[in-house]
Amino acid sequence: MARYTGPVCRICRRYGEKLMLKGDKCVTKCTLEKRPTPPGQQATGRRRKLSDRALQLREKQKARYSYGVLEKQFVDYYEDAVRLPGVTGENLVRQLELRLDNVVHKMGFGDSLAQARQFINHGHIALNGRRTNVASAATKPGDTVGWSARGRKTEAFKYAQENMTNKKVPAWLNVDANAMTGRVLSAPAAGETVSQFDPAVIVEYYSR
């Protein structure tokens, strides 16, 4: 299954809630607020109640879209989460949160996850001092994330630097706005992540 490249606002409308796929724009300019109905032709009859299986699938899809991963990637993350000690749902969210593209976004270097991934793909981001173009790279406590030498010459870097004061960084990350570098302090705890989905329901989906 290829990565979704259509209008992301349709995804939020499909699930009836903001998934923050456009980052800051979801706060200032949200299509869902103007068109809260699902995309496509609207049914005129009585809407069917979703089954438990359908509700589980919705949660899984919301998680996939929230982190921009393909189905096979998501399954791999789930299988790794099962093997790790602790609560499977928390392990799953922790792995997704520690993806490099998500860390770059949460540090405030990119307005949205998609923009952060684009910066990485173009070689504008450095992980532990080395330029990388792997958006799915797994970060760990102690890793440093910043802009590469090439990235610091771009207009994107100047824009990010000017808007760093408006960014709220999670407690498990530390950012030096002057140097435009950040550090992963720890793996995010269960209460330090804000998810638009229920990890426990996703575990039920794959545990069938």
Q: What does pTM read for this prediction? A: 0.82
Cβ-based neighbours of 72, under 8 Å, separated by 6 or more: 1
Task: Reply yes or no on whether the pLDDT at 46 is more than 80.
Answer: no
Please tell me whether residue 146 adopts helix, strand or coil conformation: strand
Q: What is the mean pLDDT of residues 130-154?
A: 96
Q: What is the mean pLDDT of residues 92-120?
A: 95
Average predicted confidence (pLDDT) for the chain: 85
pLDDT, position 103: 97
What percent of the chain shows pLDDT beyond 70? 77
139 confidence band (pLDDT: 50, 70, 90): very high
As a whole number of angstroms, the distance between CA 135 and CA 107 comes to 15
**pLDDT for 91:** 95
Based on the number of CB atoms within 10 Å of its own CB, is 31 exposed (0-12), middle (13-18) or buried (19 or more)?
A: middle
pLDDT digit string (tens) for 66-93? 898 999 999 999 999 999 999 999 999 9
- What per-residue confidence (pLDDT) applies to 168? 87
> Which pLDDT band holds residue 1 (cuts at 50, 70, 90)?
very low
Q: Which long-range contacts (CB under 8 A, 24 or more apart) does 43-51 make?
A: none
In this prediction, residues 45-70 reach a mean pLDDT of 84
Whether pLDDT at 133 is above 50: yes
Closest CA to 108 of 159, 56, 34, 41: 159
> Does residue 42 have a pLDDT over 70?
no
pLDDT band at 208, cuts 50/70/90? confident
